[in-house]
Amino acid sequence: MTKCHIVQDLLPSYLDGLVSAETETDIRQHLQDCDACRALHAKLSAPIENTSSQSDKKEIDFLKKVRKKTIQKMLAGFTALLLLVAALTYFLAIGSPVSKKDLIYTTSVDGDQWRINMELTNGKALLVRTESIYGEENSSGVKPIVGVLLKPYQVLPSPLLEGDNNSFMFGSTINSFTKSDYKIILRLGNDDVIFTSDNYDKQKP
């Protein structure tokens, strides 16, 4: 009678068909008689695909989770970056409208030139956006430009802005004011200061 430990040592080779025909016969017979070795044989010859595929699946699930987390992290990072860019753009480039209390403006006339000098006093940088003001459409369907709207904005001072960045000068010809209805509007918060042919040279503190 073959001893169990010999059979058990040989089982892997037996399963791989690497034992001699005689040994194979001995082992087969032993397996018929011995519960313990048969149990081990059954265990060793059971398809291992299930367990391995399960662990594969677990590994894939794990990778998926890792990837999902990575994507979530990347999205969070991307969102944070977008917000940062948006905030920087807002504070450095777009800005907020300047209120009346933070802006000093003076007007001056030099030859045929009219000028308005603006200075922002709250430590921020001044950006002035200009828009044309259009009049009534004429018979040919053209809307004439009848003025300029000046909209001062405050942004954070930054190296992006050149030079003296808390002041701004806007110039126009006095001739502009003699045209009918021509005006220059300085918009400060909700207040408009309107310069027309009647009052273009008056100084305002």
Query: What is the residue type of 187?
Result: R
Contact of 119 with 169, CB cutoff 8 Å:
no
**Which of 170, 148, 153 has its CA nearest to residue 103?**
153
Per DSSP, what are the bridge partners of residue 191? Answer: 188
Question: Which lies closer to Zn ion via its Cβ, residue 37 or residue 127?
Answer: 37
Q: Collect all residues with Cβ–Cβ distance below 8 Å to 93 and sequence separation of at least 6.
A: 155, 160
Q: Residue numbers of the site for Zn ion (CB under 5 A)? A: 4, 34, 37
Question: Which lies closer to Zn ion via its Cβ, residue 1 or residue 205?
Answer: 1
Question: Which lies closer to Zn ion via its Cβ, residue 34 or residue 118?
Answer: 34
Question: Which lies closer to Zn ion via its Cβ, residue 37 or residue 125?
Answer: 37
Question: Which lies closer to Zn ion via its Cβ, residue 4 or residue 66?
Answer: 4
d(CA 187, CA 148): 11
Tokens 């397996």 — which residue?
A: 31
> C-beta of 20: minimal distance to Zn ion in Å?
19
**Which of 94, 99, 85 has its CA nearest to residue 155?**
94
> C-beta of 41: minimal distance to Zn ion in Å?
9
d(CA 10, CA 23): 9
Alpha-helix residue ranges (DSSP H) falling in the chain: 4-15, 21-33, 35-45, 49-89, 174-178
